[in-house]
């Protein structure tokens, strides 16, 4: 089913692909097959460089959302 938007990482934030960020704050549910995108604050890098997108599938984010 749907996935929970995770809490924002310490040095960045998540958005849902092609959706206004205020529609899906952390703790809300998004339908399957939506994409979660990591944005890091200036001076911080993703824990998974080159892969800032996770997709909701069977109630889980795949791959696990990276942090900053």
Q: From CA 39, how far away is CA 60, in angstroms rounded?
A: 20
Q: From CA 31, how far away is CA 9, in angstroms rounded?
A: 21
Write down the pTM of the prediction: 0.90
Q: What is the pLDDT of residues 7-51, one digit of tens each?
A: 999 999 999 999 987 899 999 999 999 999 999 999 999 999 888
Q: pLDDT-derived band of residue 65, with 50, 70 and 90 as boundaries? A: very high
Task: Record the tokens describing residue 45, joined without a space.
Answer: 């890098």
For 34, the domain range is 3-62
Q: Structural domain tally of the chain?
A: 1
Place of tokens 């995108």: 37
CATH number of the domain to which 53 belongs? 2.10.70
Residue 67 included in any domain: no
pLDDT value for 21: 77
**Residue-wise DSSP of the chain:** --EEPPPPPTTEEEEETTS-GGGS-TT-EE-TT-EEEEEEPTT---SSTT--EEEEETTEEESPPP--
Residue 28 included in any domain: yes
Residue 68 included in any domain: no
């Amino acid at each position: 089913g749907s996935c929970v938007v995770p809490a924002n990482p310490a040095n960045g934030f998540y958005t849902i692909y092609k959706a206004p960020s205020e529609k899906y704050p952390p703790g809300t549910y998004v339908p399957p097959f939506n994409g979660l995108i990591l944005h890091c604050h200036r001076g911080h890098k993703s824990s998974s460089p080159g892969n800032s997108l996770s997709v909701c599938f069977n109630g889980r984010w795949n791959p696990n959302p990276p942090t900053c």
